Amino acid sequence: MFDPSTTDLSGSTLLALETVPSTNDIAVDAGRVGAEHGWAVRADLQTAGRGRRGHSWTSPNGSLYLSIVLRPRVPMQMLMGLPAVTSLGVLDALEGLGLQGRVGVKWPNDIVSVPNTIPTPHSSQFNRKLVGILVEARSSEQGAFAVAGIGANIISPVDAPPASPEVQAAIDAVASVRRAQSDAEGAVAAPGLEPISLAEALPAGAELPTREALAVAVRDAVLARVARWERAIRAGLGADGPLAPILSSYMDNLPMLGKPVNVIAPNGNTLAVGYFTGIDAWGRAEVKLGSGELKAFSAEVVSLREV
């Protein structure tokens, strides 16, 4: 298990562990005791993986669970741009594997793809989740930092090796607690997207990466995107908002853009219906309602589903 007193906290470290509750929790602990920008941890399996707004993230063995400490030298409010920046970095890594034109971003930052059996996919077919991303901001004596958690399906969950009885018991216990919390809050979560794996998405003949190789590729690509974004922010290009320097590139990678969507509250209720017309510089989804009104929605409180 992770012990910060005996672990190299330099930015070049990519710690490899077997079974952990959550790589994000480990990275947060590391960041609080001084882990440098770029420090990362990956695990073979998580027993308490989570997504946005506390949703469970299924983490079977055989896929990648990676968390990266990010300390860009930008004003704290600019950290709100890191989820979108991280998603573009993950896209860069996936395109380097051969997925050009076959991956996109589901607002705000998850990565969607299509099966390799679809030769020339239409944007409406980008509806299966390949990568989940959760970025969390925290504070430390060294200043504010963020942790970018990235869960990538390398193989299909049905092909994953079974967990040991002890690990499965821990997974089931966490799931039971979260279900009870959800029931107590009266929440009815909107159904998630069907998953897809790299094994199902990569074109025929493309080599399936190992966890180790994918972790390195994703970390390097995310750090490269963060570095470019940081330079732009420090040059004053974020005056309108943290996404301003990357807004064009980000919107180019939203397959749902221009489509009719339902705006879904955390309890599963539909708040509005309209057309997804854009993103503002603070990362809010702009939806044109039937009345003609253009309304901005924050990813902290809603999700979008294509109608």
Write down the pLDDT at residue 266: 87
Percent of the chain predicted with pLDDT > 90: 78
Percent with pLDDT over 70 in the chain: 85
For 2-17, write each residue's pLDDT tens digit.
787 789 999 999 999 9
Same-domain check for residues 172 and 292: no
The enclosing domain of 296 has a CATH number of 2.30.30.100
In the predicted structure, residue 167 carries a pLDDT above the cut 70 = no
Q: How confident is the model at residue 174 (pLDDT cuts 50, 70, 90)?
A: very low
Render pLDDT for 128-139 as a digit per residue (tens, 0 to 9).
999 999 999 999
pLDDT of 156 reads 79
Spatial contact of 47 and 174, defined as CB atoms under 8 Å apart? yes
Q: Kindly state whether residues 13 and 41 are assigned to the same domain.
A: yes
* Mean pLDDT value across residues 41-58: 72
Domain shared by 273 and 211, yes or no: no
Residue 53 has pLDDT above 70, yes or no: no
Q: Are residues 142 and 52 in the same domain?
A: yes
Res. 171 pLDDT band, cuts 50 70 90: very low
pLDDT of residue 187: 52
Domain end among 211, 233, 255: 255
- Are 201 and 103 part of one and the same domain? yes
Q: Residue 148 sits in a domain of what CATH number?
A: 3.30.930.10
- Indicate whether 261 and 249 sit together in one domain: no
pLDDT at 31 over 70: yes
- Statement to judge: residues 58 and 181 lie in one domain: yes
Distance in angstroms (rounded) separating the CA atoms of residues 274 and 260: 5
Q: Flag the least confident range among 60-69, 123-132, 155-164, 208-217.
A: 155-164
Does 168 share its domain with 261? no
Q: How many domains does the chain have?
A: 2
Is residue 241 located within the same domain as residue 283?
A: no
Q: Taking Cα atoms as reference points, which of 105, 67, 71 lies closest to residue 88?
A: 105
Domain boundary among 238, 255, 272: 255
For 193, counting Cβ atoms within 10 Å of its Cβ (0-12 exposed, 13-18 middle, 19+ buried), the class is middle
Q: Does residue 94 sit in the same domain as residue 117?
A: yes
Lowest mean pLDDT among 122-131, 158-167, 176-185: 176-185
Calculate mean pLDDT across residues 273-282.
Answer: 98
The answer to whether residues 176 and 270 belong to one domain is no
Domain enclosing residue 123, as ranges: 4-255
Q: What is the mean pLDDT of residues 148-162?
A: 82
Which of residues 216, 236, 255 is at a domain's end? 255
Same domain, 232 and 282: no
